[in-house]
Structure 1
């Protein structure tokens, strides 16, 4: 649709973020119905659109090519057919989730409050409370508490491995290795020759990498976003996405298998903070081992 809009000299993609959004689809429908007046098309602007009607109208002066208009109409009809198929998939997803949760009393007993801060985009299945269903499906484990993990990420986990599938992996490292997120270290004579991530992918790996990329775009400082930024500074964004995706896989395995809530562990601290923490723990261990007192250690006091 965007291609034929450009050929019609209609730069809708310049004035709206998504031509398949509320404003974009209303304008495309009007164009296919024969409307050519830029001012009337701009009046279809949704209230949340950042651009004004005047700015939108300047981008909607068509050249009137009938062949391109016909092709645009064809693409719009195809888009609507695909959207109807997606709705049917959403209905089937809801049926399967209701069937899985309804058969298990342990799953059905859990309840969680809605998350208002989680963004619901147009690709999120409609009329499904995924926040509640995911919490019940994973038997009281709230994966959506992890920053960067969206509804689509949780759906990918359900569809690709599921609750029982994750539990089949003996350790979190096995799970991350199966996802091909663990470096394949090639060692000769005690020297690491290569530590690239193996080739190959699956839908869950892609979903975790998308979640890692979202973490990298966070404006607020969190342990995971700080971890992402540190790797990004040293090795680049691609390596940071892979490392953070592996970190997410480890966290998800521990939460699901051990039935733990999401906690920001010490492992996300910067390297100097980790060294300092380790040094303090070793000193405390030695003090306890030898039973030393403050006088014997000769601590300086203010």
Structure 2
């Protein structure tokens, strides 16, 4: 039994060495994708294996998302449902990798983690995983399409700071009015 385990471990080590050898030309791309929250070296290798590193065949990030079937489709017109909005099933290996990366990113205190939490509150966990997976795919396109691009996290407080104070005031007033309060604001002295 122990000899079988030793043989198995040796086979695994040989496969990992072969993978490292084959990934060596794409080391820069793997390192760039590894910076994305939720995407580790293994996920980066899987993403590169499925979509490649040449982003010239995808003019925009939306084209890549559409190719991978991570683009939202039109589902309603004139109040009538028009199907699921997608043709085909996409790449299931890429979808699984992006889903796992999205779940990993959801556990972080980053922009992607906050994006997951905001969408999960409104639409549910499954839709949030798909939305964050699409966001990761857009980031991947940006990193692979430009040689000098590096990943910079926007931070978990991005949504709080992006609109300024006037937007926050309007949102709070609207929220109180929907609860039935009449709101009058007076500036502090």
Match for 1:234 among 111, 122, 125? Answer: 122
| 2:143 corresponds to | 255
| 1:158 corresponds to | 48
| 1:144 corresponds to | 34
- Asked if the contact 2:36/2:151 (under 8 Å) is kept, the reply is yes
Given the two structures, how large is their TM-score scaled by the length of structure 1? 0.47
Distance (whole Å) between structure 2 residues aligned to residue 211 and residue 90 of structure 1: 21
- Asked if the contact 2:67/2:90 (under 8 Å) is kept, the reply is no
- Asked if the contact 1:184/1:194 (under 8 Å) is kept, the reply is no
Aligned length: 167
Give the CA RMSD over aligned residues: 3.4
> Where do 1:250-289 residues align within 5 Å?
250-259=138-147, 260-265=149-154, 269-270=158-159, 274=162, 276=164
Provide closer, same or farther for how the CA distance between residues 192 and 173 of structure 1 changes in structure 2, counting only shifts above 3 A: farther
Structure with the greater relative contact order (CA < 8 A, sep ≥ 6): 1 or 2?
2
Bigger helix fraction: 2
How big is each residue's C-alpha offset from its partner over 1:240-296, in whole Å with a ceiling of 9 and x where there is no partner?
Answer: 111000000001101210332112359x843x75555897xxxxxxxxxxxxxxxxx
Given the two structures, how large is their TM-score scaled by the length of structure 2? 0.71
- The answer to whether the aligner puts 1:96 opposite 2:96 as a matched pair is no
Question: Unaligned 5+ residue runs, structure 1?
Answer: 1-72, 102-132, 280-299
How far has the Cα of 1:182 moved from its partner? 1.5
How big is each residue's C-alpha offset from its partner over 1:54-96, in whole Å with a ceiling of 9 and x where there is no partner?
Answer: xxxxxxxxxxxxxxxxxxx5xx776655443332222222222
Match for 2:102 among 194, 199, 212? Answer: 212
Provide closer, same or farther for how the CA distance between residues 150 and 237 of structure 1 changes in structure 2, counting only shifts above 3 A: same
- Asked if the contact 2:119/2:127 (under 8 Å) is kept, the reply is yes
How far has the Cα of 1:200 moved from its partner? 4.3
Question: Unaligned 5+ residue runs, structure 2?
Answer: 168-186
